[in-house]
Structure 1
Amino acid sequence: MSYLTFDRIRNYSNTLGRAFTQNEHAKKYTKKTPVFLSYWHEDQELIKAVIGFLAQFGRSVHIDWLPNQIPRTTNATTAISIKEKIMASTKFIVLATPNSIESKWIPWELGIADGKKGLNSIAILPIVQSSTIWQEKEYYGIYNVIEEQVAGQWTVVSPNGGNRALRTWLEG
């Protein structure tokens, strides 16, 4: 078992990420409901790479800073829009980086997803320095985690035991 590292995710940005610019990405996968990606805005440089990573599994990703999504200044209207996007998505993924604990929105978004989607539709995607070390938040322990079980085989690991291929989980 290993986690996605900063070095590996940057490779997705350099390869798959280039192939899936936001417009190409949106056009290619408009037939599928997008995954909602909850992330800390200071981690925006990783987002294109995460889009590339998830695109290899045939899924588009809702990113709130794409054109016409979320205004720069947030307010109650912003919260309503985000909540609607979470509700419209089939899956919810939290991008967990060492600094994402600073986000005020991630816990709120996760709470919405937890209450409306249930645990089976939520997964944590850790991005770490070392592939075997992740300092998770205590409440992340109740959610699925995206891990690489065997080289190139990404799975969603349930805290209750059991694994599902990431592609299968995203489609279900």
Structure 2
Amino acid sequence: MISTDSLRNAAFGRSRFNTQGKLAGQSTIFLCHSHKDQNLAFGFSQMLQNAGCKVYIDWLDEEMPETPNKETAIRIRQKIKENEYFVYLATENSSRSRWCPWEIGYADGVKVLDRIIIVPTRDRATSYGQEYLGIYRRLDIASDGQLAIFDPVTNAGRYVRNIW
């Protein structure tokens, strides 16, 4: 599990956050997370960008309504479909969110199963990621410090840079 401290530390590089268009060969990711975890989302997006990904975060989308409404749901569905991968940042806040469970439920219905990836996190005392999330692949830090995606059945992992 990725520690929330490591995500916060990675967030210090947020000034480098890439909001530009997709580069050739670059994978695109819809990052599902609680808005209460902005620093964690920024930190994690930095890790993903360093692995060669383009990350979509809804509150950076200028076309997103300021107050959540029906248009918000329509836009989120569109972005989940548009992006190659759906990545769920499992935290205490995302488990309590009204939107995050809806988003993963929607993604489960429109994405191929191997394009949905869970990022379980832990803080000093607790690990996060509800038991039903165990059916999806998970992204974690491998023993050598690199990002890897692990199969939920075999627990075999592959480096992210070889998958995207």
Distance in 2 (alpha carbons) for counterparts of 1:147 and 1:51: 14
What is the deviation of 1:118?
2.1
What is the deviation of 1:130?
4.5
Partner of 2:5: 7
What is the deviation of 1:34?
2.3
Partner of 2:45: 51
After superposition, give the CA deviation of every residue in 1:116-158 in whole Å (9 maximum; x if it has no partner).
1122001111221149x63421210101111122122221111
Partner of 2:19: 26
Stretches of structure 2 lacking an aligned partner (at least 5 in a row) = none
SS in 1 for 2:149: strand
SS in 2 for 1:65: helix
1:145 matched to 2:138? The reply is: yes
Q: Stretches of 4+ moved more than 6 A in 1?
A: none
What is the deviation of 1:90?
0.3
Distance in 2 (alpha carbons) for counterparts of 1:63 and 1:125: 15
TM-score (norm 2): 0.88
Partner of 1:107: 101
What is the deviation of 1:33?
5.1
Alignment RMSD: 2.0
1:97 matched to 2:130? The reply is: no
SS in 2 for 1:151: coil
SS in 1 for 2:153: coil
Higher relative contact order (CA 8 A, sep 6+): 1
Distance in 2 (alpha carbons) for counterparts of 1:123 and 1:130: 23
What is the deviation of 1:92?
0.6
